[in-house]
A and B are shown apart, each in its own frame.
Chain A
């Protein structure tokens, strides 16, 4: 059985479940590649040691306390889940809206989406004091807890991403199955981000979170940061010589990015206005949000607005927006801005507790930071190995027939 499962398919290429794993290409990889892999290995090892420390000594090694019951792991959960959206939305637009210029990105986008959601879920597991109790989520789920929905959605979404990647690589089921998978995956991506926002917004105990606009803000932030990360990834892959993309693809991506950024900023400003406007300002809300403009959290929140507006301005400039350097800068700025936004959002719920007691900002402890870095390294390692081993490049011959076929599903849907 094992012999049939893995078959050699040329020098160094092994076929497993229909996918050609080009293990041989690792032999040709340069010293810099292996040095990077070794570095990631070291970071992962340190992360595992840090996780062991946390398991052995309990929450005392974390910086989280009663006033900050959730910390870096939750910031990262929101962040990774958000980043994974962009990839999927770009990929989905290929199949659903016939945006052919994104076609070469499809496999990379789905892989990135799957790996990022995996990191988000691993973040929860590494935060739990007794990870084995996670089984109760399956045994006795509570229908009124938003955690149940976001947790199950993330798991199913991750499975969809990896199955989707397999379908894309093997071509199993042809265009039809790929199209159907997208029809499932896209609404699920939106569902996942909605439920993640619900974890915050469905709390009447936390005034600044308890707003319906939290859901669209999550969706736009997620899409913007995801597209920005995909753009950066595509540039890196291209500079490494793994991929070749048309300039028009980058132009389309950055136009899309600028559009989503401005919607994202608009929603945020509308929410801020509602909190501070004299006829709507509630004392608890205004006092809580004031810490993020003039208080100890200004360093985290003010840059969100500055970086966001600057990134939009860079992408809006007609004469410069086609330059790769400008696109990369704007993307990097927004990826950072969204991380700071997630951190601020998390802190907005916690900095002033339900009894009105303010506590100084939360900063992750060394153990928390090392666990998070270790997880990030796991993600990077998977991406690094996949870039060499997995057939992520969409074959040229595959592109030709799909160009004509792409119109068909759209017509079908119409």
Chain B
């Protein structure tokens, strides 16, 4: 049945001028072949059926529907987030083009400034790994590579993936962290008991504990993000919840000099992330853990 849906997508995105006509042609062929093989619908009818579904696109036929459906609130207590507006109808996602990434770490620095990460804390939300050519092997990667990057390596930025099945949320013993309806995993700084089980259960090393009182110079502080409340609790990337729920994009996307980062709403079929997921071949880090991360890599 999924094969039937595919040509419809191609036709839908074709007006954007992004889809390769050859690809949609091939997929159309594939769909027809599939129906023929199934032997239930005559070949002549299948073309007409395809056209009919394309005329009335609905959410259930969105090729990303299965991904969006999985990306629901988890352990959501209905409590408002202190430093941001309430969640909207969006399902946030990010795509990072590793072919474009030059390992300049500008996203890291922009994130530190935007999110008031303690200058003495010794961690950053984004960790850029220098990867060996020819392998996606984290054991051979280097986090503390020399500034500037090496043209013989490739770079893999890792941060909180806002997983659809967040092991950190499952692992928190007191429901001090949860997944909001728009997919952002947040932490309640007033409730965190500092057991650090979420850091243990996270497969992406995305969560960080404030072992020291975070220090941010007064003039560099972002008034939209707390500082003092973060002492002795766990914090992490929130897709810049204070910006994205106000219609802005994240600080890392803004800072990237090569445009390697795309951020957007999966519910919006016109958004950059939706189009990339539908038209490019993408992959996710540690897919085998089944966490269903909401950050895809491409290239």
A133 at the interface (CB under 8 A from B): yes
B138 at the interface (CB under 8 A from A): yes
Other-chain residue from B122, B171, B232 in contact with A65 (beta carbon distance below 8 A): B122
29 contacts between A and B (CB under 8 A): A58-B213, A58-B231, A59-B209, A66-B209, A69-B200, A128-B195, A129-B194, A129-B232, A133-B192, A133-B193, A133-B194, A140-B77, A140-B175, A142-B174, A144-B170, A145-B170, A145-B197, A147-B171, A147-B195, A205-B200, A206-B200, A283-B137, A287-B139, A354-B138, A354-B205, A355-B129, A355-B143, A356-B137, A357-B141
Contact B191 A354 (CB under 8 A): no
Chain A interface residues (CB < 8 Å from chain B): 58-60, 62, 64-66, 69-70, 124, 127-130, 133-134, 136-137, 139-142, 144-148, 151, 199, 203-206, 283-284, 287, 349, 352-357
Measured in the bound complex, the distance between the Cα atoms of B199 and A127 in whole Å is 16
Measured in the bound complex, the distance between the Cα atoms of B195 and A127 in whole Å is 8
* Residues of chain B with a CB closer than 8 A to A283's CB: 137, 139
- Chain B residues 57-79 with CB under 8 Å of chain A are 75, 77
- Chain B residues 180-198 with CB under 8 Å of chain A are 191-197
Contact B209 A205 (CB under 8 A): no
B299 at the interface (CB under 8 A from A): no
B76 to chain A, nearest CB (A): 13
| Contact of A353 with B205 at beta-carbon distance under 8 Å, contacts A128-B194, A205-B167 already known | yes
* Residues of chain A with a CB closer than 8 A to B286's CB: 354
Q: Interface readout for B145-173 with A: 1 if CB under 8 Å, 0 if not?
A: 00000000000001000000001001111
* Residues of chain B with a CB closer than 8 A to A357's CB: 141, 143, 205
* Residues of chain A with a CB closer than 8 A to B204's CB: 354-355
For residue A206, which residue of chain B has the nearest CB?
B200
Contact B138 A355 (CB under 8 A): yes
The total of Cβ contacts below 8 Å across the A-B interface reads: 131
Contact B172 A69 (CB under 8 A): no
B242 to chain A, nearest CB (A): 23
- Chain B residues 196-217 with CB under 8 Å of chain A are 196-197, 199-205, 208-213
Given contacts A69-B200, A145-B172, A203-B171, 9 further A-B pairs with CB under 8 A are A58-B210, A59-B232, A65-B211, A130-B232, A133-B192, A141-B174, A203-B167, A354-B202, A354-B286
For residue A132, which residue of chain B has the nearest CB?
B193
Contact A130 B194 (CB under 8 A): yes
* Residues of chain B with a CB closer than 8 A to A69's CB: 196, 199-200, 209
| Contact of A60 with B211 at beta-carbon distance under 8 Å, contacts A141-B173, A147-B173 already known | yes
Contact B209 A137 (CB under 8 A): no
B24 at the interface (CB under 8 A from A): no
* Residues of chain B with a CB closer than 8 A to A148's CB: 173
Measured in the bound complex, the distance between the Cα atoms of B195 and A354 in whole Å is 18
Contact B197 A147 (CB under 8 A): yes
Chain B interface size band reads: 35 or more
B109 at the interface (CB under 8 A from A): no
* Residues of chain A with a CB closer than 8 A to B212's CB: 58-60
* Residues of chain B with a CB closer than 8 A to A66's CB: 122-123, 199, 205, 208-209, 211
Measured in the bound complex, the distance between the Cα atoms of B77 and A139 in whole Å is 13
* Residues of chain B with a CB closer than 8 A to A355's CB: 127, 129, 138, 141, 143, 158, 204-205
By secondary structure, the B interface counts as: loop
B298 at the interface (CB under 8 A from A): no
Contact B138 A356 (CB under 8 A): yes
Measured in the bound complex, the distance between the Cα atoms of B139 and A352 in whole Å is 8
For residue A64, which residue of chain B has the nearest CB?
B211
Contact A136 B211 (CB under 8 A): no
Measured in the bound complex, the distance between the Cα atoms of B213 and A148 in whole Å is 28
A194 to chain B, nearest CB (A): 17
For residue A65, which residue of chain B has the nearest CB?
B211
| Contact of A205 with B175 at beta-carbon distance under 8 Å, contacts A60-B211, A62-B211 already known | no
B240 at the interface (CB under 8 A from A): no
Other-chain residue from B129, B194, B201, B233 in contact with A205 (beta carbon distance below 8 A): B201
For residue A200, which residue of chain B has the nearest CB?
B200
* Residues of chain A with a CB closer than 8 A to B143's CB: 355, 357
Measured in the bound complex, the distance between the Cα atoms of B176 and A137 in whole Å is 10
B291 to chain A, nearest CB (A): 8
- Chain B residues 255-299 with CB under 8 Å of chain A are 286, 289-290
B96 to chain A, nearest CB (A): 15
B119 at the interface (CB under 8 A from A): no
B217 to chain A, nearest CB (A): 19
* Residues of chain B with a CB closer than 8 A to A64's CB: 211
B23 at the interface (CB under 8 A from A): no
| Contact of A284 with B139 at beta-carbon distance under 8 Å, contacts A130-B194, A134-B193 already known | yes
B140 at the interface (CB under 8 A from A): yes
* Residues of chain A with a CB closer than 8 A to B175's CB: 136, 140-142
Measured in the bound complex, the distance between the Cα atoms of B205 and A133 in whole Å is 25
* Residues of chain B with a CB closer than 8 A to A199's CB: 197
* Residues of chain B with a CB closer than 8 A to A62's CB: 211
* Residues of chain A with a CB closer than 8 A to B129's CB: 355-356
Other-chain residue from B77, B140, B196, B231 in contact with A356 (beta carbon distance below 8 A): B140
For residue A355, which residue of chain B has the nearest CB?
B205
Nearest first, the 5 A-B pairs at minimum CB distance are: A356-B138, A129-B232, A147-B173, A59-B211, A136-B174
* Residues of chain B with a CB closer than 8 A to A124's CB: 195
* Residues of chain A with a CB closer than 8 A to B213's CB: 58, 60
B201 to chain A, nearest CB (A): 5
Measured in the bound complex, the distance between the Cα atoms of B196 and A199 in whole Å is 12
Other-chain residue from A59, A144, A203, A284 in contact with B200 (beta carbon distance below 8 A): A203
Other-chain residue from B137, B140, B174, B192 in contact with A137 (beta carbon distance below 8 A): B174
B160 to chain A, nearest CB (A): 13
Contact B195 A203 (CB under 8 A): no
* Residues of chain B with a CB closer than 8 A to A142's CB: 75, 170, 172-175
B230 to chain A, nearest CB (A): 11
Contact B193 A205 (CB under 8 A): no
Measured in the bound complex, the distance between the Cα atoms of B168 and A142 in whole Å is 12
Measured in the bound complex, the distance between the Cα atoms of B173 and A215 in whole Å is 20
Measured in the bound complex, the distance between the Cα atoms of B195 and A70 in whole Å is 8
Contact B199 A349 (CB under 8 A): no
Measured in the bound complex, the distance between the Cα atoms of B291 and A354 in whole Å is 14
* Residues of chain A with a CB closer than 8 A to B171's CB: 144-147, 203
B78 to chain A, nearest CB (A): 13
| Contact of A136 with B232 at beta-carbon distance under 8 Å, contacts A60-B211, A65-B122, A356-B140 already known | no
